[in-house]
Structure 1
Amino acid sequence: MNRVRCAIYTRKSSDEGLEQAFNSLDAQREACAAYVLSQASEGWNALPDIYDDGGLSGGTLERPALQRLLGDIAAGKVDIIVVYKVDRLTRSLLDFSKLVEIFDQAGVSFVSITQSFNTTTSMGRLTLNMLLSFAQFEREVTAERIRDKIAASKAKGMWMGGLPPLGYRPDGRTLEIVEPHAALVQGIFQRYLDIGNVRLLVDRLNAERIHTPVRQMANGRAFGGVPFSRGQIYAILKNPIYIGEIPHRDQRHKGLHKAIVDRQIWDATQTLLAGHVPGVRRRSNTASGSLLAGLIVDDTGEKLIAAHACRAVSNGGDNGKVRYRYYVSQSAHHGTSEGKGTRIPAREIETATIEALAAAFDDPMALMQRTGIPLELPDMERIFSTSRATAAMIRKRDPHILRAIIAGIVVHPTEVSIELLMAAVAQHLSVSPPPDADTIITLACPVRMTRTGHRLRLVQNDGRSVAAAPPDASMIKLLVKAHKWWGQLQRGEVTVRELAEAEGVVKSYVTRVVRLAFLAPAIVDDVLAGRQVATIDAKRLAFTADLPVSWEEQTKYFGMGV
Structure 2
Amino acid sequence: MVAIYTRKSGDENLVGAVTSIENQKEVCRNYIGIFKEMGWKEYPVPYDDPAESGKDLERPAMQRLLEAVKGGRVQAVVVYKLDRLTRNSKDFHGLVDLFEKHEVGLVSATEQLDTKSPQGRLMTYIMAQFAQYDRELDQERAKDFHLARARKGFWCGGLPPLGYNSKDKKLTVNEEGAKLVRRIFDLYLEFRSAARVAEELNRLGFRRPSYDTKKGRHYGGQQFDEYSVTRTLQQKIYVGKIVNSRTGMEFPSQYPAIIEPEVFDQVQKLMEEHERHERTEYCTNKNGFLLKHLPRCGKCGSALVGYVRPKKNKVYRYYRCMANVEGKPVPCDFLSIPAEKLEEMVLSRLDNVSWDRTALKLSVGEAEQHSKEKIAELEAEKKDLDVNLRKTRREIENFRLNAKDCGHIEAVQKELARLETVERELAAYIPKLEARIANQKVAGYDANSAQKVFQQVNQKLKNLPVPQQVKIIRTLVKGVKVWKDRVQLDLNELSEADLKQCLVGI
TMscore range, shorter length:
0.3 to 0.5
TM-score computed with the length of structure 1 as normaliser: 0.42
By percentage of residues, which structure has more helix? 2
Greater relative CO (CA pairs within 8 A, separation 6+): 2
Larger of the two Rg values belongs to structure: 1
